[in-house]
Amino acid sequence: MMSHRLIVLLLAVVRRQVASLAHLSLWAEMYGVGQSTISDIKRSKPTLLNFVSVIENEDGSSSRKSMKAATNKDLENAVFMWLLQQCSVGNPISGQILCEKAKILAEKLGCSSFKASNGWIRNFKSRHGIRELDLSGEKLSANSKAADFIEKFKVVADSYSPEFLYNADETGLVWKALPKTTLASKREYSAPEHKVSKYHVTVLRCANSTVSHKIPLLLIGKSKSPRAFKNVKKLPLCYKNQPKAWMTATLFTEWYDKIFIPEVKKHQISLGKEGKVLLIVDHAPTNPTTELLERGNGQFKAIFLPPNVTNLLQPMDQSVIETMKRYYIRQLLRKLLLEGEDKEGVCENHKK
């Protein structure tokens, strides 16, 4: 590993001129190295600057400590360009597949001595800053389905006012969760651990396409009568309970009939407008069929998104739910860290 003092020395010598022997002696004494080390760094200035430039401006790994290049640059470039092409079209590439492709390219380039060993793939990843990512499992097959749905939806949506196009989506919220990382001073080498909370609720969000009407949140918890609600005269949301705090078809239908439809009708009265209403929801097992959600001789209808296109088409997934969670966590931390620090302490407040 390269020490911090040596890194500072490299930067200093590269950025300044070390001309005389007096300078060499002074710098050698300052950093505790030999004069020959200073001379070698000065002589390698162009190479060092080029190495840093590649790391900062190209696909290099900032954690590299060695400037050693690939044995066969042509093969290296061919494999890397092939990898970039495959990634650009969304093809999943594993280390084993990359090694097999490298062997094929090596044969074409006449590199008979090439072996796609574990050491080669490890060094290849290091030289180019390549990392492994989890596959979403949905995106590869989602694009074509999404395109088909969009074309069909355009035809359906023509008969609805934007004011009466709604989208609803539920999400899990770990309501006692604390951050997994923390800031610390350089004097601290470790952080106190805390158990990862598993207390969760389900939150259903719903709004129209113009964002002029937001349906009150539906909150699903485990407890039938949470103690936290006893001192609240009127909740700014609708609360339901379920043994696992999950959405069910029964709860969704109850929300649809008792919350969604009445709230939409109030909104229509306030606007002085009437019209058909369409609700866009996920194609989830917890949701009833579209036929069971039709009300008022077709005045209220629902349409399901195709399977596996949530990350592409679900409006509430385009940062709306994420933003809600960020606001919630911010308020939770504010209450624990800022409001509670002079009272019972963060840990005691968190337990409550």
DSSP state of 85: H
C-alpha span between 97 and 64 (Å, rounded) = 24
DSSP state of 316: G
- Cβ atoms of 293 and 302 within 8 Å: the answer is yes
C-alpha span between 296 and 301 (Å, rounded) = 9
Indicate the domain borders of the chain.
1-58, 70-133, 139-183+190-318
C-alpha span between 291 and 4 (Å, rounded) = 68
133: Cβ contacts below 8 Å, ≥ 6 apart: none
User: What does the pLDDT profile of the chain (352 residues) look like in tens digits?
Assistant: 444 445 555 555 545 554 444 566 776 666 666 767 767 766 666 666 665 555 444 454 445 455 455 677 888 888 888 888 877 666 677 787 888 888 889 888 888 888 888 888 888 887 777 766 554 444 445 566 777 888 888 999 999 999 999 999 999 998 887 776 665 555 555 555 666 677 889 999 999 999 999 999 999 999 998 888 888 878 889 999 999 999 999 999 999 999 999 999 999 999 999 999 999 998 877 778 888 899 988 899 999 988 777 777 888 988 899 999 988 888 888 777 766 555 566 667 777 7
Topology, domain 70-133: Arc Repressor Mutant, subunit A (1.10.10)
